[in-house]
């Protein structure tokens, strides 16, 4: 259960990072940064439960995706109550919280630094690898913190989207308290979760401090 929770949280964090880093780079290079940031932030104002139910409507047997498949004369897909659906929804929820700190780090990079890299013969990939990524490490670590730690204890999304297909720390705590009523074990699991979250915070903060040094 604990290792499954860590693996799920790690998968969510990696997926979110792979999507968010290019998105943050695109927003920084855009002339309409404010517009893109508004588009990014507005979904965070919507209640999490409403967003989850919206995805249920998308992934359900008679949902939008299966309606499109039916129109294309393709067999329907069982998407709801699957691990991929859970990873997709969880990653979508955390993308804004990963993009914003990375974007803030990118925004602080002076344009003359990027121009100097180009003038010295570096191509776009080299500039990204040797200039942009090292200078945005703090933003990446912050994004990992605000994604990985909450993803460890996801409960509502897990139950509504994955059903019983995904068992993590959040659902285990809920089961111990509300179903089995083993409050001692439930409290122990919750305490272990808090300790592990603290360890992750210490590790990421230490790396951040070393990076600044």
Q: Look up residue 18 and give its two tokens.
A: 């792979």
Per-residue pLDDT reduced to its tens digit, 80-126: 999 999 999 999 999 999 999 999 999 988 889 888 988 888 888 88
pTM (predicted TM-score):
0.86
Domain count of the chain? 1
Domain residue limits at 202: 2-212
Q: CATH number for the domain including 68?
A: 1.10.3720.10
What lies within 8 Å, CB to CB, of 20 at 6+ separation is 95, 98, 99, 102, 143
pLDDT for residue 167 is more than 90: no
User: Residue 60, CB half-sphere, CA atoms under 13 Å: how many?
Assistant: 9
Per-residue pLDDT reduced to its tens digit, 54-74: 999 999 988 899 999 999 999
Q: For residue 205, what pLDDT is reported? A: 76
């Amino acid at each position: 259960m604990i290792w499954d929770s860590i693996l799920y949280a790690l998968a969510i964090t990696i997926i979110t990072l792979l999507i968010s880093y290019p998105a943050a780079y695109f927003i920084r290079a855009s002339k309409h940064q404010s517009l893109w940031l508004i588009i990014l932030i507005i979904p965070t104002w919507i209640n999490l439960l409403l967003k989850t139910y919206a995805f249920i409507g998308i992934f359900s047997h008679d949902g939008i995706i299966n309606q499109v498949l039916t129109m294309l004369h393709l067999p329907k897909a069982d998407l709801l109550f699957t691990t991929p659906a859970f990873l997709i929804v969880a990653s979508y929820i955390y993308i804004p919280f990963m993009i914003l700190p990375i974007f803030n780090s990118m925004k602080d990079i002076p344009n003359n630094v990027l121009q100097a890299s180009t003038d010295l013969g570096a191509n776009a990939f080299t500039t990204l690898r040797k200039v942009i990524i090292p200078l945005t490490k703090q933003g990446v670590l912050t994004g990992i913190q605000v994604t990985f730690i909450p993803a460890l204890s996801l409960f509502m999304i897990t139950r509504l989207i994955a059903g019983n297909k995904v068992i993590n720390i959040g659902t285990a705590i809920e089961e111990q308290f509300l179903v089995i009523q083993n409050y001692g074990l439930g409290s122990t699991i919750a305490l272990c979760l808090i300790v592990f979250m603290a360890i992750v915070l210490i590790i990421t903060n230490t790396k951040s401090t070393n990076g600044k040094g």
